[in-house]
Structure 1
Amino acid sequence: MRLLGLLVIAVVAAVAGGAGSALAAPATTTPSTTPTPAAPSGSPVPETGIPMLDEVLNTLAGNLGLGGTGSSEVDSSQMIVVTAPEANDTTATLTAFERGTDDAWKPVIGPTEAFLGSLGMGEPEDNVYRTPEGTFDLDQAFGRLPNPGTKMPYKQVDRQDWWDSNMKSPTYNTMVRQVQSPGGDSENLYDSGPVYDYAVNIAHNPERIPGKASAMFLHVTNNQPTMGCIAIEKDLMRQVLTWLDPAKHPKIAIGVNQAGPSGSESSTPQTSTPQSSTPQSAVPESATPQSTLPSTSPSTIPGADSLTQLLNQLVSLLPSLFETTAGP
């Protein structure tokens, strides 16, 4: 326990020193000629360069719920945000953001109207027409039409391509190619019609847990609520696909009054007023971005929020550690 106490003190000193140096540096909007190396994919906090300290920091970050697939902006430069005022709304506002070289997030597609499940959004379940709420990876694209030019893995489907939604199947919640249906609620990705002219998988259930819902996509709309997917106008869906880049770790964030990425320019959701069907490459310059979403404080220090939470956690442990090491 004495060694652990010393280790915690060392961690606090290392983190405080690093954070203090960063805070002392003057803020600038011009990218440095020697950019600070980004944290590795999946790492919730910047590395200190000391293996033992990095292991402790990342372990504690995991315990605090920081970082990890579908919960962090650290490893992503593309984020699609889907927001609605109420959980039972069947329409929402969709905006795509990209992080630039200056580390600032800017809207590049939308805002536009999107259809949700007929039961709105929330906890996903099989046979329940509800859109999953949370932040998820976008990992696989497909469509009845040829590849529009996306960098994502893309499969042009025909009548032998299915999305397996049979909860008893070993390939549940994956695309399979076979003549016969895998059974259950599996969908034929061609016969489902024009809604699957273009689509990308929302990886909300990567563990493929039966009952946690299958076949949740961002796809083309038929102007009606969905069975749990998110649907937008066809030309805009094609634009989204050509924009998506797996090297930028694209994610989709879905929620009630879902905020945009930290420090981003967000427009006020207009779910009651459908947007024009003409794809928008950016918010018009004449529109002043105003948000009714929960405010976020842009940080000029990548990972600062994570470091603050970790530091608070470590500091709270010190009294008990000193008491233990002191002994009777």
Structure 2
Amino acid sequence: MASSIERPPRDRRGHRPPARTGRPPATVRVRARRRLPSAAVALVVTAVLAGCGAPAGPAPGATPTGGAAASGPAPAAPPSVAPAAGAPGGAGAAAPAPDPSRLPGLGPQALAQIPGDTRQVVVVTGRGKDSSRSEVVLHRRTARGWRAGPAWPAHNALRGWTDDHRMGDLRSPIGVFTLSDAGGLLPDPGTRLPYDESPRFAISGTGFEGEPLEGSFDYVIAIDYNREPGTSPLDRTRPLGADRGGGVWLHVDHDGPTQGCVSLGEEHMKELLRVLDPDQHPVVVMGDAASLLR
């Protein structure tokens, strides 16, 4: 709820503008940045952070871990079993390649909902069903299985997680959701995702623990729950209705619980933005540890 070259001066928040080092190679499809009206409208907590909590339920680009898999996801593969020593393929035989359909910490329901063409999975694992603390790990699929990045500390909603969120319950959704759009108050740090730089991402006020919220939306990635993929994270279209929530984002951490989003450090958000590639069909799998193992 967040070099030997001359460096430019810092802005009022202590940030330096990101260096412009060019866009991705020509072999990568780069999408045009969207521009919204330039009116500097602050996003108050009730307008966006309240929408930063969303239910887990059937939605465009989303499938909850407790529901039926949407069309397209690959079915979960059975866990591989190593042969016993002395048996054919046992001791002395080359070890089999890791099963590329498996991801640590995820059970068959979550695995079945990850699309077969997905090559990037952001796993958000909550400490407990009622905890606001979690960790984020980016997994990349290779020829020999999933390769995990470092674990980053994160916050989720104040009251933890839910399979059936309703607007205002202060819980984050449990589920598998696509990641298709990004934006923020600050300039694009070099993402391949469509990026909406807008003053409308400005926010002020304090969070649940009295921490300042300013800068929380410097960088955001929209989680495709109850929203229209292919639009700015600021778009307020709610296909399931307003009572089912919306505006669920990954954003810059403000050192406190959110109203439904997942927040991590600014440097980690920038790294995530630079790595995520729409051609790799990225998704986020999120929930408390026990729920993700179902």
Which TM-score tier does this pair reach, normalised by the shorter chain?
0.5 to 0.7
**SS state at 2:134 partner:** strand
Greater C-alpha radius of gyration: 1
CA distance, structure 2, for counterparts of residue 258 and residue 232 of structure 1: 21
Which residue in 1 is equivalent to 2:240? Answer: 209
Which residue in 2 is equivalent to 1:158? Answer: 199
Q: Percent identity?
A: 26
Q: Name structure 1 gaps, 5 residues minimum.
A: 1-25, 31-64, 160-188, 261-293, 296-328
C-alpha spacing 1:229/1:28, structure 2 compared with 1 (3 Å) = same
CA distance, structure 1, for counterparts of residue 192 and residue 136 of structure 2: 21
Residue 133 (structure 1) aligned with residue 174 (structure 2): yes
Contact 2:135/2:151 (8 A) holds in 1: yes
Which residue in 1 is equivalent to 2:217? Answer: 196
Per the TM alignment, residue 88 of structure 1 is displaced from its structure 2 partner at its CA by 0.5
CA distance, structure 2, for counterparts of residue 27 and residue 75 of structure 1: 25
C-alpha spacing 1:85/1:124, structure 2 compared with 1 (3 Å) = same
Per the TM alignment, residue 124 of structure 1 is displaced from its structure 2 partner at its CA by 2.3
Q: TM-score, normalised by structure 1?
A: 0.48
Which residue in 2 is equivalent to 1:10? Answer: none
**SS state at 1:135 partner:** strand
Contact 1:83/1:258 (8 A) holds in 2: no
Which residue in 2 is equivalent to 1:268? Answer: none
Which residue in 2 is equivalent to 1:112? Answer: 152
**SS state at 2:139 partner:** strand
CA distance, structure 2, for counterparts of residue 139 and residue 219 of structure 1: 14
Per the TM alignment, residue 28 of structure 1 is displaced from its structure 2 partner at its CA by 5.6
Which residue in 2 is equivalent to 1:18? Answer: none
CA distance, structure 1, for counterparts of residue 291 and residue 158 of structure 2: 23
CA RMSD between the two structures: 3.2
Contact 2:184/2:218 (8 A) holds in 1: yes
C-alpha spacing 1:66/1:155, structure 2 compared with 1 (3 Å) = closer
Q: TM-score, normalised by structure 2?
A: 0.53
Residue 86 of structure 1: which of 121, 124, 128 is its match? 128
Letter aligned with residue 100 of structure 1: T
Letter aligned with residue 228 of structure 1: G
Per the TM alignment, residue 141 of structure 1 is displaced from its structure 2 partner at its CA by 0.2
CA distance, structure 1, for counterparts of residue 167 and residue 267 of structure 2: 29
**SS state at 1:80 partner:** strand
Per the TM alignment, residue 85 of structure 1 is displaced from its structure 2 partner at its CA by 3.5
Deviation string, structure 1 residues 63-92 (Cα, Å, up to 9, x no partner): xx9998xx2241210001111242101001
**SS state at 1:194 partner:** coil
Instruction: Identify the structure with the greater helix proportion.
Output: 1
Query: How many residues are treated as equivalent by the alignment?
Result: 175
Deviation string, structure 1 residues 103-126 (Cα, Å, up to 9, x no partner): x10112x21211010111112222
Contact 2:203/2:216 (8 A) holds in 1: no
Moved over 6 A (4+): 65-68
Q: Relative contact order, CA 8 A, sep 6+: which one is greater?
A: 2
Deviation string, structure 1 residues 179-236 (Cα, Å, up to 9, x no partner): xxxxxxxxxx223531000000011224621111111000000100001000000001
**SS state at 2:199 partner:** coil
Q: Name structure 2 gaps, 5 residues minimum.
A: 1-93, 99-108, 205-213, 228-237
Per the TM alignment, residue 254 of structure 1 is displaced from its structure 2 partner at its CA by 0.8
1:203-242 alignment runs, 5 A limit: 203-206=224-227, 208-210=239-241, 211-242=243-274
Residue 138 of structure 2: which of 76, 83, 96 is its match? 96
Per the TM alignment, residue 158 of structure 1 is displaced from its structure 2 partner at its CA by 1.4
CA distance, structure 2, for counterparts of residue 66 and residue 93 of structure 1: 17
